[in-house]
A and B are shown apart, each in its own frame.
Chain A
């Protein structure tokens, strides 16, 4: 399964991966590749098997069947000096001081004590936690602890970043900081695998994505290819008046019920002209009408809309 990838060998290669927990099959038969230098979105609703796949890839779970390789081989911790992994279940040694913990992980990633210490102090300065270096981690707020966790993840300039719901628990300011850091690493040539429910992040950062549902891939490829696969277009309209209910479209991203903007997802192959006509007949003043690609959020809703388990990260 190449789905928009190149002919070169992938950095991450997963083939016919199956994962059972007792009688429950979490992943049925999953195959995909991630290439060096790309940012890869790993999408799916809660319980779809994303975290399980990452844990199996990193040797934390033993796969029931299949091949999961990083750089051509099964991952082992001794190969992890240039891997940055931000797990979904996060935590640090809460009773230890911030700098001690960061230096410890830096040492485990192969940095000298001095280098780990210098890097940590610079990072703390950048994320405005320089005054917390000697504070115990359990004295920090949740957001501050997330910053420390992120710092530990990106120490030693990792070549492969695996981020499992990286913005989970972040406020908007920290989320922006995180996105900036991911982009920096992306520009620096790092490969990023990102599990997220934030579709704007996917559209902003990812080169390719995979959508996982019920243990299998529902879509896989570049953003544009996936958008094309799911109907391709949406009508973006700026209007005055009340949008009427219709069998020709489904309104999403409505900014106001009486006027504003909305994305109209065409149903049953409804044309632009038919939709505009219906709006005008309903007394809506159409100020602007453009055809756009369907958003990843819309695709996500289409794929997982029938599941009540979908929750915001």
Chain B
């Protein structure tokens, strides 16, 4: 007997790498070449740019108005049952003592006086009554501000000590230093950097989850699965799709962040953006590493879950039914955020920390605020990675042996039960 004929075959490793690159290139290119991708991607920065322009214009207008109000002196009448306010002080601020409250009120009503302030005998107990000519919702606040300021300055003069005045008004500076396990803790400046991973996780899930869900559905809906499965290892296909999605996500994040960065660098003052003091941020290695690992492991788990759902469901429409509850489970810890921050040992917080779908968000929050112990971090990260890999393998299996059930939902148990006699002996 002559030996079995051979099909010509490329070198395995080279071909696997070649195919992965081909899948990534094809999936990435065809996504970013689509007009609707750019419409969706550019919509957010365009909206942001419009808002920036409106804020810019509004701030210019507000600044001019504020300046005008500052320059305009307010003339008012007042009565003082408390006896706190010296006439000289009130006079210097545009005030004139009224002899009769009724006459002063009538003058405001007729428009001959701008405002009338009636200070009670005990301002700590009874309200100061303020009457004024209507100047619009925002400008009307000036009356209250002036009435309070007159009373405050009069009180300060009575106390006669700037230190006591500052102390009673709470106008003092406080420097706080806290310690954890004997070491100074960084406060909010140390909490923010690890929380950036949570923000990144949120953005990635929001931007990419729908595409992840649909990534394997396309082959099924277009009946391409059989062609693909005879030319390409399903693991290569799915990994290639995930990598390309990640690259697409990077493009989107870059496009989204561009206007913010440009706005912050060049128009910070005019856009009224907060002047963040980056030197106050503390980048502690431990929480940063844990945050990064939670991000990667959480991303792995959710990608695997979404791909598996896509492999099971026959159409995007049916997959969308599962998508909503899944997203709710991912972000449900935000509803308990105050409890997570204030009482990390509460039972519900512990459940959220170790329940796979809520674990990434909960653990990242706790990591940021320093309540996630090293042991808990290791357990959560290991759990997310292991579960992610197991579900990803399951997703590949479901795609491989179930995705040609074009018109119907795949039975996971039946698919898993079919053990290949030949493959087992391979």
Which residues in A have some Cβ–Cβ distance to B below 8 Å? 7-11, 13, 22, 36, 55, 58-72, 74-83, 85, 87, 89-94, 96, 100, 104-105, 107-110, 152, 159-160
Residue of B nearest to A152 (CB): B227
Residue of A nearest to B401 (CB): A62
**Other A-B pairs beyond A62-B419, A107-B26, 19, CB < 8 Å:** A7-B1, A8-B1, A9-B5, A60-B401, A62-B420, A63-B422, A68-B422, A71-B7, A77-B234, A79-B7, A80-B230, A83-B7, A83-B231, A87-B227, A91-B222, A100-B30, A107-B19, A108-B232, A159-B7
Contact, CB under 8 Å: A78 / B226: no
Would you give the shortest CB distance from B243 to chain A, in whole angstroms?
16
Contact, CB under 8 Å: B422 / A108: no
Known contacts: A77-B229, A78-B9. The answer to whether A62 contacts B423 by CB under 8 A is yes
What is the total of A-B residue contacts with beta carbons within 8 Å? 132
The answer for the CA separation of A92 and B223 in the assembled complex, in Å, is 7
Contact, CB under 8 Å: A55 / B226: yes
The answer for the CA separation of A121 and B222 in the assembled complex, in Å, is 23
Interface string of B261-279 (1 = CB under 8 A from A): 0000000000000000000
The answer for the CA separation of A298 and B349 in the assembled complex, in Å, is 75
Name the prevailing secondary structure of the B interface residues: loop
Contact, CB under 8 Å: B223 / A78: no
Contact, CB under 8 Å: A60 / B230: yes
Decide if B421 is an interface residue (CB 8 Å cutoff).
yes
Contact, CB under 8 Å: A63 / B421: yes
Contact, CB under 8 Å: A78 / B230: no
Decide if B125 is an interface residue (CB 8 Å cutoff).
no
Of the listed stretches B10-18, B134-142, B144-152, B307-315, chain A binds B10-18
Other-chain contact of B232, A60, A72, A77 (Cβ < 8 Å): A77
Would you give the shortest CB distance from A271 to chain B, in whole angstroms?
45
The answer for the CA separation of A105 and B26 in the assembled complex, in Å, is 10
Q: What A residues does B218 contact at CB under 8 A?
A: 93
Residue of B nearest to A61 (CB): B401
Name the prevailing secondary structure of the A interface residues: loop
Contact, CB under 8 Å: A74 / B422: yes
Contact, CB under 8 Å: B232 / A85: no
Other-chain contact of A108, B9, B19, B222, B419 (Cβ < 8 Å): B19
Q: What B residues does A105 contact at CB under 8 A?
A: 227, 231
Which residues in B have some Cβ–Cβ distance to A below 8 Å? 1-10, 12, 15-16, 18-19, 22-23, 26, 30, 218, 222-224, 226-227, 229-234, 401, 404, 406, 414, 418-423, 426
Would you give the shortest CB distance from B401 to chain A, in whole angstroms?
6
Q: 6 shortest A-B CB distances, which residue pairs?
A: A91-B223, A72-B4, A62-B420, A87-B226, A9-B4, A8-B2
Interface pairs (30), CB distance under 8 Å: A9-B1, A9-B2, A9-B3, A10-B4, A11-B5, A58-B229, A60-B404, A62-B401, A62-B420, A62-B423, A63-B420, A64-B421, A66-B421, A77-B231, A78-B233, A80-B230, A81-B15, A85-B230, A89-B404, A92-B222, A92-B227, A93-B30, A93-B222, A94-B222, A100-B26, A104-B22, A108-B19, A108-B23, A110-B15, A110-B18
Q: What B residues does A36 contact at CB under 8 A?
A: 5
The answer for the CA separation of A59 and B420 in the assembled complex, in Å, is 10
A22, A61, A71 interface centre (most CB from chain B within 10 Å): A71
Contact, CB under 8 Å: B231 / A60: no
Contact, CB under 8 Å: A81 / B10: yes
Q: What B residues does A69 contact at CB under 8 A?
A: 4
Other-chain contact of B404, A55, A94, A104 (Cβ < 8 Å): A55
Known contacts: A91-B222, A104-B22, A109-B231. The answer to whether A70 contacts B7 by CB under 8 A is yes
Other-chain contact of B9, A9, A81, A96, A100 (Cβ < 8 Å): A81
Q: What B residues does A75 contact at CB under 8 A?
A: 230
The answer for the CA separation of A136 and B273 in the assembled complex, in Å, is 46
The answer for the CA separation of A70 and B422 in the assembled complex, in Å, is 13
Contact, CB under 8 Å: B7 / A92: no
The answer for the CA separation of A62 and B398 in the assembled complex, in Å, is 12
Residue of B nearest to A76 (CB): B233
Q: What A residues does B16 contact at CB under 8 A?
A: 78
Other-chain contact of A92, B2, B22, B224, B418 (Cβ < 8 Å): B224
The answer for the CA separation of A108 and B423 in the assembled complex, in Å, is 24
Q: What B residues does A67 contact at CB under 8 A?
A: 422
Residue of B nearest to A88 (CB): B226
Contact, CB under 8 Å: A89 / B406: yes
